[in-house]
Amino acid sequence: MTDCTVKRVAFICLGCKLNFSESSTWAREFVSRGYERVHEREPADLYVVNTCTVTEQADKKCRQTIRRLHNMAPKAQIIVTGCYAQLKAEEIFTMEGVELVVGTEKKSELVTLADRLFTENRGGWYCQPIEETASIFPAYSSGDRTRSFLKVQDGCDYHCTYCTVPLARGISRNVSILQATESARILAKQGVKEVVLTGVNTGDFGKTTGESFLNLLKNLATIEEIRRWRISSIEPNLLTSEIIDWISKAPCFLPHFHLPLQSGSDFILTRMGRRYRRELFADVVRQIRSLMPFAFIGIDVIAGFPGEDQVAFEETFDFLEQLSPSFLHVFPFSRRPNTPAATFPHQVPEKEKRQRVERLMKLSDRLYADFYRLNMGRLEEVLFEAKERGGLMSGFTRNYIRVEKPFQKNLIGEIVDVII
């Protein structure tokens, strides 16, 4: 920047941990260029909003956030990026306060484009058609010595009938194993003890570099300073027997799995365009349990997909009850523009969706309580975090059970044996 006045920048990150890793990377670059980072509730010269568009509610939250920021600081510049920005660039650019909209292919140029807002008064919207997106913006979160999120993959080639993510993030692509390892070594030098691998379709790693996800895991496991690795959501058809077996034998990779099922009905899975059927999913869960009986298994499920009658819903409910995962991430079906499912016949009424979500949430509560009871009395390692609430500190076990104890500053960022 040529302006001698230090500009204040704040970040508002909506959506997934992938967005979080990207926002953190931009923050480091802004600071390296002389900006001062401030909290999103503080007055700033520039606000960067990293958006989500996975549901209609996510779109609404993005718009509300932009309006809130403009009302709070009407003279501030607002940059909007992320998935919603890619899909609705022109519409967002007309909103009051928005000076710059940055699409998927231009993420690596965001800070340079922000500089031009102040030095050349050059705003606008920079969004190429998603079909032209070929590069990947490498990213990782930093600033917390307990846990970091490392982006290793972006985009998706699956085109499930309900999902806008391929329209917003483009084709599946990844960083190289070398690049991922170098970023991880930087985090290790910062004292980070736990890293979560993130991506849109994480298990699809290797599409653009001819490498494999398993070899990525093996290379990262050689970084001894990083004691714990978690894998974010991974498609069940990409979580192979070989990967499950290797994780079960690698102490630094934790018994924690996040699997998107979406439906327990093969008929609905076919309509969704999913690349597996329920028996494959059940087999993956069985393999995990046979090698890691205390593993945390979280499952995504969508309630009220078009054509899901009461029989199909009960099939899903019963299937989940039999699988007995640790937790359910439940979402009502959201009609997204430009997706096939938005125009499918037999749309489920909103009231019916809400009732199904409520039933699944109650099931999740019961499954979660069962998982806790299963682990009671076990000796587990807990990585304690810096947050203090009511005189207590908390942390997570290897299998993602949250544990509290009286706050002790010397335990922040330390791995401690605890009886559950």
The pTM for the full model equals 0.94
Residue 1 has pLDDT above 50, yes or no: no
Residues 235 and 349 occupy one common structural domain: yes
Q: Does 240 reside within a domain?
A: yes
Residue 51 has pLDDT above 60, yes or no: yes
Please compute the mean of the pLDDT values over residues 367-394 and round it to a whole number: 94
Higher per-residue pLDDT: 16 or 12: 12
Question: Lowest-confidence range among 137-151, 188-202, 347-361?
Answer: 137-151
How far is 67 from 70, CA to CA, in rounded Å?
5
**pLDDT per residue as tens digits for the range 85-117:** 999 999 999 999 999 999 999 999 999 999 999
Residues 117 and 160 occupy one common structural domain: no
Question: Lowest-confidence range among 62-66, 142-146, 328-332, 366-370?
Answer: 142-146
Residues 243 and 164 occupy one common structural domain: yes
**Percentage of residues in the chain having pLDDT higher than 70:** 99
pLDDT at 5: 84
152 half-sphere exposure, CB direction, 13 A CA radius: 37
Q: Identity (one letter) of the amino acid at 309?
A: D
pLDDT at 144: 74
Residues 88 and 118 occupy one common structural domain: yes
The DSSP 8-state label assigned to residue 33 in this structure reads T
Residue 102 has φ and ψ, to the nearest 5°, of -120, 120
Residue 282 has pLDDT above 70, yes or no: yes
**Percentage of residues in the chain having pLDDT higher than 90:** 92
Q: Does 324 reside within a domain?
A: yes
How far is 14 from 104, CA to CA, in rounded Å?
15
Q: Does 3 reside within a domain?
A: no
Residues 243 and 348 occupy one common structural domain: yes
Quickly list H helices, 324-403. Answer: 350-375
How far is 124 from 405, CA to CA, in rounded Å?
50
Residues 367 and 387 occupy one common structural domain: no
Q: Does 31 reside within a domain?
A: yes
Q: Does 384 reside within a domain?
A: yes
Nearest residue to 76 via CA among 53, 49, 99, 92: 99
Residue 40 has pLDDT above 50, yes or no: yes
**Residue 28 maps to which CATH number?**
3.40.50.12160
How far is 36 from 209, CA to CA, in rounded Å?
37
Note down the domain range covering 399. 379-419
Please compute the mean of the pLDDT values over residues 18-47 and round it to a whole number: 95
The DSSP 8-state label assigned to residue 109 in this structure reads G
Residues 339 and 398 occupy one common structural domain: no
**pLDDT per residue as tens digits for the range 296-324:** 999 999 999 999 999 999 999 999 999 99
**Cβ count within 10 A of residue 337:** 12
How far is 340 from 225, CA to CA, in rounded Å?
46
pLDDT at 280: 98
pLDDT at 4: 55
**pLDDT per residue as tens digits for the range 215-259:** 999 999 999 999 999 999 999 999 999 999 999 999 999 999 999
Residues 242 and 273 occupy one common structural domain: yes
Q: Does 134 reside within a domain?
A: no
**Cβ count within 10 A of residue 282:** 16
Residues 410 and 323 occupy one common structural domain: no
How many domains would you assign to the chain? 3
**Residue 366 maps to which CATH number?**
3.80.30.20
Q: Does 142 reside within a domain?
A: no
Residues 200 and 327 occupy one common structural domain: yes
Please compute the mean of the pLDDT values over residues 4-18 and round it to a whole number: 90
Q: Does 2 reside within a domain?
A: no
